Amino acid sequence: MSALEPERRTLLAVDDLHVHLGASHVLQGVSFAVAEGGVTALLGRNGVGKTTTLRAIMGLSPRRGRVTLAGEEIAKLPTHRIVRRGVGYVPEDRDVFAGLTVEENLRLAERNGTARYDLVYGLFPELRERAGQRAGTLSGGQQQMVAIARALLNENRLLLIDEPTKGLAPLLVTEVARVLEQASELATILLVEQNLGVVHRLARDAIVVDQGRVVHTGPARPLLEDPALVRRFLGVSGAAV
Q: Is residue 102 part of a domain?
A: no
Residue 220 lies in a domain: yes
Query: Quick check: is 69 in a domain?
Result: yes
Q: Taking all residues of the chain, what is their mean pLDDT, rounded to a whole number?
A: 93
pLDDT band at 100 (very low <50, low <70, confident <90, very high): very high
pLDDT at 8 over 90: no
Residue 180 located in a structural domain? yes
Give percent above pLDDT 90 in the chain.
90
Q: Decide if 116 is inside a domain.
A: no
Q: Would residue 205 count as lying in a domain? A: yes
Decide which of 28 and 6 is more confident: 28
pLDDT digits (tens, 9 = 90+) for 119-142: 999 999 999 999 999 999 999 889
Q: Decide if pLDDT at 241 tops 70.
A: no
Q: What is the pLDDT of residue 4?
A: 52
Closest CA to 235 of 211, 204, 200: 211
User: Which contacts qualify for 25-30: CB closer than 8 Å, 24 or more apart?
Assistant: 25/212, 26/52, 26/212, 27/52, 27/53, 27/56, 27/63, 27/212, 28/211, 28/212, 28/213, 29/65, 29/212, 29/213, 30/65, 30/209, 30/212, 30/213, 30/214
- Is pLDDT above 70 for 6? no
pLDDT score recorded for residue 111: 87
The answer to the question of residue 123 being in a domain is: no
Angstrom distances, CA of residue 100 to CA of 103, 107, 124, 134: 8, 10, 18, 5
Domain of 219, CATH number, reads 3.40.50.300
What is the tally of structural domains in the chain?
Answer: 1
Structural domain of 81? 10-91+153-234
Query: What pLDDT is stored for residue 240 in this prediction?
Result: 47
Give domain status of residue 239, yes or no: no
